[in-house]
């Protein structure tokens, strides 16, 4: 119900209470969207190499690409493209994974700060199960580099904030997780990571942290799973009852990444269940397992994934409606940033203005139809203006 | 194996055997694509009203829209947009459903003939289970109108051919099916229809034709299911062993419409199985249950659907590879038109030239990577030239 109310309030606003006559004169004004999970360095190979499942895909595609970010010239070239495309998208706020490289991560943050976007950015921690070219020497090095990066970013930026980013349990030794907790306590930073994405990954985590009762519990044991620590966990495709209970109790945000979960043949996250349980859910593009930064596409894919889940897995879980995925893309994820993601009073003014006049149709459409259509026909939509926190971006 | 050979032959051709240096100078030249299943009149509401399953969706959205095509002025407005967008897409050949209206169907065919596209177009037959505004008076009227339309189109066009189009068993009485068979015998026309798309639809067909042993058998009983009659059946999501055997024996073409099957929560067609059985399979956009005419998108969605099928239904069915969906979109469907859909010797020269220079990446890509990426990043791809049967279209 909340979804529908928020949706119509937003649309009311976007019509400026004027009667509209033709689609040419009135644009669609919508709240800016929040990408809760995106890997900046992976943008270079978006749309490629989707024929593997998670762990093999990381080794074959992701780790080799991320290792190139040791080279600052390469990082600059890659991150300039990523930030420019993110700036030109419907996204106004984002939670971004960088790589383990401190210098390249600060370079990314410099570019983001200049872009006007509001972001959390994580220098990635990983001291095991990487490759010779992509792994930190040991947990001490990782700790020292991370603290240096935190100190620099805390004083250098105003809209670009550090977020602790243990890649995922398979990449982080127990010692490293304890050191990340130490940094969390000292600097009070939020945390982002991955959770229950893939069946083999989950089995691997159980091996690595045998005392954990579920994957989420492995993070909890190190004090990095919600409660006083604002936390985003990407995926949650296979979260069992205990893990759901734990996320609920600790207020963990779920970054639902439907295209990624399909491209890597991971599965489909039971988002309807998470909404029924009143959990925090937003959308993530999850570049490069997801191919596009466009959260309008993620919205459509979230609906499509929920329809297959309904058909093939559980017919008690009604497919997501347009108003619900609109909520996920805006207020659902935006609330991780505080008062953001809606045009309701008291919220930051994040807005995106869409021109759908290139879509030709013999029919007259009302505002809701135009917005629903925009989600499917992204090729024909232009993003013409953007405001973030009241500031005109373009 | 065939898929891979054809794919590389096509790419070899497209590189002109030149070493390429930058993505700016060499475009991607690919065989034109064939859309084996698309509803022209539904283009007006693409991307809308996806919250229903097949039979309800037809009654709520499709039949009311199609009934408007009695008004020739509306039909002109709508079909001009449809044909212009189809002409500008990667599609060079298509099998199109019109409506039951003879005049509007001929108007569509006039526009298609002028466009340079090679198409089969069907005036739809439907004499039961429609709405007061969208149903033919009786089978005699349907027969007479259809014959009039056939005679006109056979003499008026060279690249726009009539195809018999009983909407689907629920829409066509036994008498009508027998009369369509009579037309088939007299004019030797191919046939297109729908098959085993949705569970309730299949149950309904069994009620309507109690003597049929499967949905496909209901068409077969009227002599409209392959063998001497070239036949396309859209969907085949739930074809059982018997139906598969029947399709195989009769050489029926399957139009796989992955996005449509997901949007209407129908399910996922077992395309890997059909390929293992060496059946004829191509892709269909199935506007407006599918939202886009762009077959590059259908290719990506076919891979994605096959990954979910692999994960959630049957792990013995390996997901489709890029070379395989490239085959489906080109030669797979193109062969319904005879020698079309590939650059192999002896085939019609249907070609589309893609400009992917707007995709920015710090990496160098080879041709195969650029083509795979183009399938996911359609927003960033421009179609700059098109040839059909050797003729320059734009």
pLDDT at B22 over 80: no
Do the domain assignments include residue A392? no
Contact pairs from chain A to chain B, CB under 8 Å? 121
CATH at A229: 3.20.20.140
pLDDT for B26 equals 85
pLDDT at B201 over 50: yes
Question: Which pLDDT band holds residue A26 (cuts at 50, 70, 90)?
Answer: confident
Question: Which pLDDT band holds residue B5 (cuts at 50, 70, 90)?
Answer: low
Minimal C-alpha gap between B300 and chain A (Å): 9
Report d(CA B316, CA B247) in Å as an integer: 22
CB–CB of A379 and B378 under 8 A? Answer: yes
Question: Which pLDDT band holds residue A13 (cuts at 50, 70, 90)?
Answer: very low
Strand order in the sheet with A231-235: A160-162, A118-122, A91-97, A33-39, A280-283, A253-256, A231-235, A191-195
pLDDT for A3 equals 64
The reply to whether A315 touches chain B by the CB within 8 Å rule is: no
Interface of B with A in 13-32 (CB under 8 A): none
List the one residue out of A264, A139, A116, A112 whose CA is nearest residue A194.
A264
List the one residue out of A136, A128, A224, A130 whose CA is nearest residue A180.
A224
Residue B82's CB is within 10 A of a number of other CB atoms, namely: 25
The reply to whether A317 touches chain B by the CB within 8 Å rule is: no
CB–CB of A265 and B311 under 8 A? Answer: yes
pLDDT for A8 equals 56
Q: Which helix (H) or strand (E) holds A175?
A: helix A174-187
Interface of A with B in 360-389 (CB under 8 A): 360-363, 365, 369, 372-379
Q: What is the mean pLDDT of chain A?
A: 94
Percent of chain B with pLDDT over 90: 93
Do the domain assignments include residue A384? no
Q: Which domain holds residue A262?
A: 31-329
The reply to whether A266 touches chain B by the CB within 8 Å rule is: yes
Do the domain assignments include residue B348? no
CB–CB of B45 and A361 under 8 A? Answer: yes
pLDDT at A245 over 50: yes
Do the domain assignments include residue A386? no
Do the domain assignments include residue B116? yes
The reply to whether B357 touches chain A by the CB within 8 Å rule is: no
The reply to whether B4 touches chain A by the CB within 8 Å rule is: no
Do the domain assignments include residue B391? no
Q: What is the pLDDT of residues B141-156, one digit of tens each?
A: 999 999 999 999 999 9
ipTM of the complex: 0.95
- The answer for residues whose C-beta is within 8 angstroms of residue A371's C-beta and 6 or more apart is A11, A28, A30, A322, A326
Q: What is the pLDDT of residues B202-237, one digit of tens each?
A: 999 999 999 999 999 999 999 999 999 999 999 999
pLDDT for B12 equals 47
Do the domain assignments include residue B344? no
Average pLDDT over residues A245-250: 98
Q: What is the pTM of this model?
A: 0.95
- The answer for residues whose C-beta is within 8 angstroms of residue A189's C-beta and 6 or more apart is A150, A161, A162, A163, A164, A183
Report d(CA B32, CA B16) in Å as an integer: 17
Angle at alpha carbon of residue A369, lines to A363 and A371, rounded to 5°:
125
Percent of chain B with pLDDT over 70: 94
Q: What is the pLDDT of residues A34-56, one digit of tens each?
A: 999 999 999 999 999 899 999 99
All residues of chain A having their beta carbon less than 8 Å from the beta carbon of residue B47 are 372-377
Report d(CA A292, CA A254) in Å as an integer: 19
Do the domain assignments include residue A312? yes
Total structural domains in chain A? 1
């Amino acid at each position: 119900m909340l979804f529908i109310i928020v949706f119509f309030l937003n649309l009311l606003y976007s019509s400026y209470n004027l009667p509209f006559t033709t689609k040419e004169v009135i644009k669609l004004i919508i709240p800016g969207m929040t990408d809760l999970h995106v890997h900046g360095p992976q943008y270079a190979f978006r749309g490629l190499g989707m024929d593997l499942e998670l762990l093999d895909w990381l080794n074959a595609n992701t780790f080799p690409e991320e290792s190139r970010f040791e080279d600052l010239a390469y990082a600059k070239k890659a991150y300039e493209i990523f930030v420019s495309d993110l700036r030109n998208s419907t996204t106004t706020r984002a939670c971004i994974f960088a790589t383990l490289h401190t210098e390249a991560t600060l370079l990314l943050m410099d570019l983001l700060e200049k872009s006007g976007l509001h972001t959390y950015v994580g220098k990635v921690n990983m001291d095991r199960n990487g490759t010779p070219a992509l792994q930190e020497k040991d947990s001490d090095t990782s700790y020292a580099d991370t603290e240096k990066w935190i100190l620099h970013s805390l004083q250098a930026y105003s809209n670009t904030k550090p977020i602790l980013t243990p890649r995922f349990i398979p990449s982080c030794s127990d010692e490293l997780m304890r050191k990340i907790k130490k940094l969390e306590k000292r600097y009070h930073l939020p945390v982002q990571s991955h959770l229950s994405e893939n069946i083999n990954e989950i089995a691997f985590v159980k091996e690595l942290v045998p005392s954990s009762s579920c994957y989420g519990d492995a993070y909890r044991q190190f004090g990095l799973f919600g409660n006083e620590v604002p936390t985003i966990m990407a995926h949650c495709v296979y979260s069992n009852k205990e893990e759901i209970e734990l996320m609920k109790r600790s207020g963990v945000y779920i970054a639902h990444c439907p295209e990624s979960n399909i491209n890597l043949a991971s599965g489909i996250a039971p988002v309807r269940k998470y909404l029924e349980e009143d959990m925090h859910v937003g959308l993530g593009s999850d570049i490069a397992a997801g191919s596009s930064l466009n959260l309008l596409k993620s919205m459509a894919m979230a609906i499509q994934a929920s329809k297959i889940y309904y058909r093939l897995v559980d017919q008690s879980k009604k497919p997501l409606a347009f108003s619900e995925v609109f909520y996920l893309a805006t207020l659902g994820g935006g609330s991780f940033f505080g008062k953001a993601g809606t045009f309701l009073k008291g919220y930051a003014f994040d807005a995106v203005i869409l021109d759908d006049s290139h879509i030709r149709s013999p029919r007259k459409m009302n505002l809701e139809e135009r917005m629903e259509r925009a989600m499917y026909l992204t090729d024909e939509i232009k993003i013409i203006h953007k405001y973030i926190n009241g500031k005109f971006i373009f």
